[in-house]
Structure 1
Amino acid sequence: MKKFLYRFFIELTNQAFLSKWLENFTKSSYSRHFIPTFVKTYKINETEMLHPITEYGSLHELFTRQLNMVNRPVAIGDEIVVSPVDAVVEEFGSIDADQTFIAKGKSYSISEMLHRDEVKKKYINGIFLILYLSPSHYHRIHAPISGDIIGQWSLGTSSYPVNNWGITYGKSPFTKNYRVISEVVKDDSHLAIVKVGAMFVNGIELTHEGDKIKKGEEIGFFEFGSTIILLFEKDSFTLNPSIHKKMDILVGQPLGTLKKRTMH
């Protein structure tokens, strides 16, 4: 019954007109009056912001704020993979031979997530890692590695919540929600960066130009809290042993290391 009521409510509220209303409100000058309450409620660190709080003209400007990046040093080492976002480590594990992974007891298909046969095959028996951004987090996305972008595409329309309730009771938000996928190659290793939209607001903006990225540089931003899913090929990545579920992680902090693959 709980799952039914949750899904019924979300389907009822996840309509285009409501999404547009929320987007318009957060971008309106009137929404700036809610900034102090928002900052206090979510305990946002004002000292890290690039600009004083009084300079943000709307909630949208606050959501997409930039930071003084001296507070986000990028781990040194060409083989080190860093977190692309400030987030909570929600889940990680193996991608099965049947192209699925398990999160919160639910099975997700990378075939459905990626929708490209030539891409999904690369990640069978690889590793997945889910990073959840709440509305309180810094919303800008940075490159986890240096490399070449060999593909970039978007899928989905509506967006369901990607918080604990959404993952537990929702309709497979990681494979149904609006999402923008970037595939990057470094040496002989491929990495899929799946940027998943959050409830109501589908906004995922890409700010990087060109087909080469440098570790730590900004590549885009979310317009609301959301999720990043990283997919690594088999035998291409070793997770840092210090990483554990529900831990907080910041942009630039190490997630693990890439390793030379012996097979293609």
Structure 2
Amino acid sequence: MSCSKPYRVGQWLPSDKKVLDKWLANLIKDVEVKSKDKLELLMSGHPPAEDEAKAMGELRSTATLSVTNLHLHKPVEDLMNAILTDPEINMFFHQMFWQQYSLPNTSGVKIPSWQLMIVIIDHIMTTAPEYNKTGLVGFPINVILNWPMATTAGFAAFLNDKVNRLFKNILNYWGIFLSSPDSCYVLSKDPRNGWFGEDAMLAMPNFEKEFKCNPKAEHYGFKSWDDFFTREYRPRIRLVESPDDDYIVANACESAPFKIATGVKQRDFFWIKKQRYSLDFMLNMDGLAKQFYGGTVYQAFLSATSYHRWHSPVSGTIYKTELVDGSYYSQTHNIQDDPAAPNESQGYLAQVAARGIIYIQADNPDIGMMCFVSIGMSEVSSNEITVRENDKVKKGDQLGMFHFGGSTHCLIFRPEVKIEFDTRGQTPGLHDLHNIPVKAKIATVFPARK
């Protein structure tokens, strides 16, 4: 199987570790001031964080801790109660915050305790990501958990079903805020952090001409942060390339190439540093995966300023769809020097993250059954499929969308398909790659020899 080095996340998180550290330090300082009473109450009955690593088995009982006075958002309170009352989750969260100090290359700002984590996550529930050309854009909770998730305990915790259900509820709750008018405060012309400010418009040139919006209306006519992020192109923008040629495969997302792999196996060691694809796990152990054993996977990544809807790469019939609840904060365990975990775990996440799976029976028999997989990363984990089984789709028709941002996606082809990808001269895996337009040609399929 051919593999390439991972492509660094585009604009979701800064590549400069100093920027992450500064952002997190400011967030901690802000929360410690605004939520001082909550922190003091939550820390009561616990030894200081710096003493915990020295007293692994000597924690005082927290059974009598009152949580009714914290006034946390309900799903965050549920996570706190699980940490306090579930022995497995309690162990995970204590150990991951201890173990983060034993990781290699541990210089930088860290959240010192799970208690502070709880209060910070609670704070984030009523904030929307601001635009910043050098700083954090879309993954605030990921930065909070960045070091703990890289530990042995973190690796176990964020593959745990109970933990993932708790974080799913938190993210869904945050999603309600991001879908409300209250989240529009970041859709401003503030020159530093507004999504319609000067810096943001430089990152999204021709925004008014390309996207459906009303520049004269408040917030450009968008009703919420999510409304802005699921925005649509205007008519005749991003037309389908070669719409009537079934041997031309269209790009399903506005995205940059991450990896092309051939001869992909039924099962492989997807968690190792090279992050090989494992088809059974990618496709959630569906019997249809057998058709793709030994086939080809193309993976590409969406940036924070990208268009976030998915479109059919081929003309055909929707054969089956599936939404998979996966992990939300799991990263490849042996990559512990990644300043923002999703950067170098994208291949791994194709097997374990929340995802949408759409099987398409292509009209072209030389393609046959193929598969589109949307993969949510961290906060960006809401996949909405907008087609149903037996729907007829033309190349370029909408299949669904990511909410609250964008992520990564895969196209999977059977081993019989002779396909050649066109990455516009780019080498998948390198940094500073540019997006290939959605609906543009991404590959050519060649007729099978008779």
Q: TM-score range by the shorter chain?
A: 0.7 to 0.9
The TM-score normalised by the length of structure 1 is 0.85
RMSD of aligned Cα (Å): 3.1
* 1:99 and 1:124 in contact (8 A); partners too: no
Quick one: distance in 2 between partners of 1:101 and 1:75? 37
Q: What's the counterpart of residue 74 of structure 1? A: 240
More strand by share: 1
Q: What's the counterpart of residue 443 of structure 2? A: 256
Q: CA deviation at 1:98?
A: 4.7
The TM-score normalised by the length of structure 2 is 0.52
Distance 1:227 1:214, change over 3 A: same
Deviations 1:199-252 (Å, cap 9, x if unpaired)? 134322222355211001112111021111111111314223444323421111
Bigger drift between 118-127 and 154-163 goes to 154-163
Number of residue pairs aligned between Structure 1 and Structure 2: 263
Equivalences for residues 97-246 of structure 1 within 5 A: 97-100=265-268, 105-160=274-329, 165-166=341-342, 168=344, 172-186=348-362, 187-188=364-365, 189-209=368-388, 210-223=390-403, 224-243=405-424, 244=426, 245=428, 246=433
Gaps of 5+ in 2: 1-102, 105-145, 189-193, 332-337
Quick one: distance in 1 between partners of 2:423 and 2:380? 33
Quick one: distance in 1 between partners of 2:306 and 2:327? 22
Distance 1:157 1:235, change over 3 A: closer
Deviations 1:106-131 (Å, cap 9, x if unpaired)? 22311111134532221122111111
Identity of aligned residues (%): 21
Gaps of 5+ in 1: none
Structure 1 runs, 4 residues or longer, greater than 6 Å off: 101-104, 161-164
Distance 1:4 1:161, change over 3 A: closer
More helix by share: 2
Q: CA deviation at 1:29?
A: 0.9
Q: Which has the higher contact order (CA 8 A, sep 6+)?
A: 1
Q: Does the alignment pair 1:50 with 2:212?
A: yes
Quick one: distance in 1 between partners of 2:423 and 2:400? 27
Q: Select the structure of larger CA radius of gyration.
A: 2
Query: SS state of the match for residue 107, structure 1?
Result: coil
Distance 1:104 1:247, change over 3 A: farther
Counterpart residue type for residue 195 of structure 1: S
Distance 1:91 1:17, change over 3 A: same
* 2:418 and 2:448 in contact (8 A); partners too: no
